[in-house]
Amino acid sequence: MTYSGLFVRGSLAQTPTQDPDGWSASPDIILYGLKPAKDPKVFVADYGTDYGSTVHWDRANYVYLRALNPAAGALAGRAWFYHAPADLMLWPRLWQASGVAGHRQHINHAPIAARTGGEVCVAGPLVWTPVRLTPPFPTDGAMCAIVWMEDAPLHPPGWTPQSGNGDLSTLEQLADFICGNPNMAWRNSVDVSQAGPTWRQTTAITGPAAGGQFLVGVACSNMPTGALVSYSIPGSGDVPPVEAKNIPIWGPGASPMTTVTWPPNHSSTITVTYNQGQAEPPTSGAALAACVSVQVNTVGSSALRQARQAQPWRFRTARMVDHSGTYGGTDDVAVIIGSAPYQF
């Protein structure tokens, strides 16, 4: 299937017709730094460039939003920008527009247009002043940046991408929302390329308001075999902890996952530990992502069909391990609905 609207990538390699390896690392959310670009056309010429994910706290950051027009003719729309503390479950109710301004107004969107088919176009700049996180969020935690492309004809005044989606409360609803909106992308990645052969990263997980069962674990992309990965999720009350320790990475796309059942409004964190050991160092572009997934049968048929066509990377064969990381001999097909990639 060829994507027909203004197209934003989830990863640098993604195209409108094929995504060999998608992650929550959209290069089309351009966090350009503390000064505006002299000429935003550079982002068009450098469509193959990822400008990184550096955020400067409590200072004005210049943000540009980029899209590709895969249609045959002109295409116009509106580019929306949101932010949220990094989380594996990006419920729309967590998205924020505070501290964002554009065109000298406190708005979080900008017009975007491509004059011809196949053209790359850019919106912005928007100016984002992120406020440093405070508890209960980790004070050294990361932020997630979100882009939503609204195609013409535009919605009437007062509409936002959160309209009708702010009250999602079940994993099934979130899965349908994520899989059914390929016009959305986000940057939720952390650079670990200089972290050394052993490192540890923690990311929040905001569970569904209605509670439910889901899969949590890690998903690899082009990772060398033989290294060890562990992940832990603190328990609370009737929710047992997960301590999946020292799981060998058995292949470049290894995806060990554990089934958890959470009560309503439960939240926690996942800490991923990587130990290279005697394995080869990961190559540039490899990634190890903490992720939340659901089983295929929990996704609505329409959203599932759209995801298979436009977002095939969301489907993973998960090796199911128990709360201690022991493999029980069962594999399952999972649909990734949230991830935090740790990129090399």
Query: 112 with 151: CB under 8 angstroms?
Result: no
The pLDDT of residue 300 is 57
| Sheet strands (E) in 192-282 | 198-206, 212-221, 228-233, 242-248, 256-262, 267-275
Burial of 305 (0-12, 13-18, 19+ CB in 10 A): middle
H-state helical runs in 132-244:
171-179
Residues with Cβ within 8 Å of 37's Cβ and at least 6 positions away in sequence, in order, are 43, 62, 64, 125
Listed as ranges, residues in the chain with pLDDT below 70 are 1-3, 18-23, 103-104, 136-140, 296-313
Q: How many C-beta neighbours within 10 Å does residue 118 have?
A: 10
What is the residue type of 82?
Y
The token pair at 47 is: 């469509």
Q: Which H/E stretch holds residue 163? A: none
The pLDDT of residue 193 is 84
Chain position carrying tokens 């659901």: 294
| Sheet strands (E) in the chain | 29-33, 61-68, 75-85, 100-102, 109-114, 120-128, 143-151, 184-187, 190-191, 198-206, 212-221, 228-233, 242-248, 256-262, 267-275, 287-295, 315-321, 327-343
Residues with Cβ within 8 Å of 78's Cβ and at least 6 positions away in sequence, in order, are 109, 110, 111, 112, 123, 149, 150, 154
For the chain, give every domain's residue range: 29-188, 191-343
> Taking the chain, what is the end-to-end CA distance rounded to the nearest angstrom?
31
The pLDDT of residue 97 is 94
The token pair at 326 is: 């022991």
When computed from its CA atoms, the radius of gyration of the chain, rounded to whole angstroms, is 19
The pLDDT of residue 20 is 44
Query: 63 with 145: CB under 8 angstroms?
Result: yes
